[in-house]
Amino acid sequence: MKQQTAKTNIAFMKILAFFIISIFAVILFSSCRSQKPRGYVEDFTDTSGKAHVKYPEPLIQKGDVLSIVVYSEAIDGGVTDAMYNLANAGTAGNSSTQGFLVDQEGNIQYPRIGKIKADGLTKAQLSEEIRKKLTGPLQNPSVLVHLLNFKITMLGEVSKAGPITIPSEKITILEAIGLAGDITIYGKKEDIVILRPTDSTIEHGTIDLSSKTVFESPYYFLRQNDVVLVNPNKNKARLSEQVFNQRLGIAFSLINMIALLYNIFQN
């Protein structure tokens, strides 16, 4: 009877050992199948090192905060450009000490002029619109318009996710990736998603940073309030699998240890 029990235990241990070895083999094989990360602009072969890109002038949107500064030549009658600059004009409607807010109707409330439509205009167009209205009261006025809240948001597989303020009001997708600390080894460079809010919709597009076509994309230059999503690649999924497999291996090791102890005490 004892001999039969010993044979049964030996057979059980062989089956258990084979099963555990198979599990560890699967874990080892899965850990070796990592995907090589793609590089940036891998197929750019132009020996001159030039790429033609077109910069689209950003349009002013609802919710933007604008800095507007007026300059003009001195004229008689005590009228000066200071009267049309925010710091000296007092509180006016939807303006603030930081700038002019474009309201939900797309307008700004300008001192001594009133309501001006800004939504959908470029900075140059709004500057010209204000200049025309000031040509009577002021002599040879010039108007400078800047966006104060130009920002983008980086999400997903980047080193530093979150909003980024752009003082220069001009940034490319590659520059944005750099400011976010680069894409991690688990990020997919060939399928970057751009979410671009418009007046009443969210525009959705993708861009491939590993291809030279990146320079031709309408998303190469980012616009204010763009959201950049860097999706995980297959390596990220495999990392999760490896963690699961490692835990599974530990569990089976414990089972093996328990079986060995059981076999010892049985004998």
Asked if residue 48 belongs to a domain, the reply is no
**What's the number of domains the chain is made of?**
3
138, amino acid identity: L
Asked if residue 176 belongs to a domain, the reply is yes
Instruction: Name the CA radius of gyration of the chain, rounded.
Output: 32
Asked if residue 192 belongs to a domain, the reply is yes
Q: At a CB cut-off of 8 Å and minimum separation 6, what does 155 contact?
A: 161, 227, 228, 229, 230
CATH code for the domain in which residue 119 is found: 3.30.1950.10
Shared domain for 215 and 248, answered yes or no, is: no
Q: Which helix (H) or strand (E) holds 71?
A: strand 65-73
In DSSP notation, 148-199 reads: S--EEEEEESBSS-EEEE-TTS--BHHHHHHHTT-B-TTEEEEEEEEEEE-S
Q: In terms of C-beta density within 10 A (0-12 exposed, 13-18 middle, 19 or more buried), how is residue 228 classed?
A: buried
Shared domain for 79 and 137, answered yes or no, is: yes
Shared domain for 240 and 174, answered yes or no, is: no
Last residue of a domain, one of 101, 121, 147: 147
Cβ atoms 161, 229 nearer than 8 A:
no
Shared domain for 24 and 96, answered yes or no, is: no
Last residue of a domain, one of 112, 132, 147: 147
Closest CA to 223 of 240, 239, 243, 202: 202
Shared domain for 141 and 172, answered yes or no, is: no
Shared domain for 211 and 251, answered yes or no, is: no
HSE-CB of 217 using CA atoms within 13 angstroms? 25
Report the distance separating Cα 51 and Cα 45, nearest Å.
11
Domain that holds residue 186: 151-232
- pLDDT of res. 250: 66
| Confidence label for 98 from pLDDT (cuts 50, 70 and 90) | confident
Is residue 77 predicted with pLDDT exceeding 70?
no
Beta-strand relationship, 139-147 and 107-110: unpaired
Asked if residue 60 belongs to a domain, the reply is no
Last residue of a domain, one of 147, 172, 203: 147
The more confident residue out of 224 and 9 is: 224
Report the distance separating Cα 234 and Cα 245, nearest Å.
16
In DSSP terms, which residues pair with 151 in a beta bridge? 165
Cβ atoms 184, 13 nearer than 8 A:
no
Report, as an integer, the average pLDDT of 138-148. 91
CATH code for the domain in which residue 176 is found: 3.10.560.10
Asked if residue 259 belongs to a domain, the reply is yes
- Residue the block writes with tokens 């709004």: 126
HSE-CB of 231 using CA atoms within 13 angstroms? 11
Q: What one-character DSSP code corresponds to residue 82?
A: G
- pLDDT of res. 255: 67
Cβ atoms 222, 173 nearer than 8 A:
yes
| Confidence label for 198 from pLDDT (cuts 50, 70 and 90) | confident
Asked if residue 13 belongs to a domain, the reply is yes
Cβ atoms 37, 189 nearer than 8 A:
yes
Asked if residue 220 belongs to a domain, the reply is yes
Shared domain for 139 and 194, answered yes or no, is: no
Shared domain for 24 and 87, answered yes or no, is: no
- pLDDT of res. 119: 94
| Confidence label for 213 from pLDDT (cuts 50, 70 and 90) | confident
Q: Which pair of structure tokens corresponds to residue 45?
A: 């072969």
Shared domain for 156 and 226, answered yes or no, is: yes
Out of 25-29, 144-148, 205-209, pick the least confident: 25-29
Asked if residue 59 belongs to a domain, the reply is no
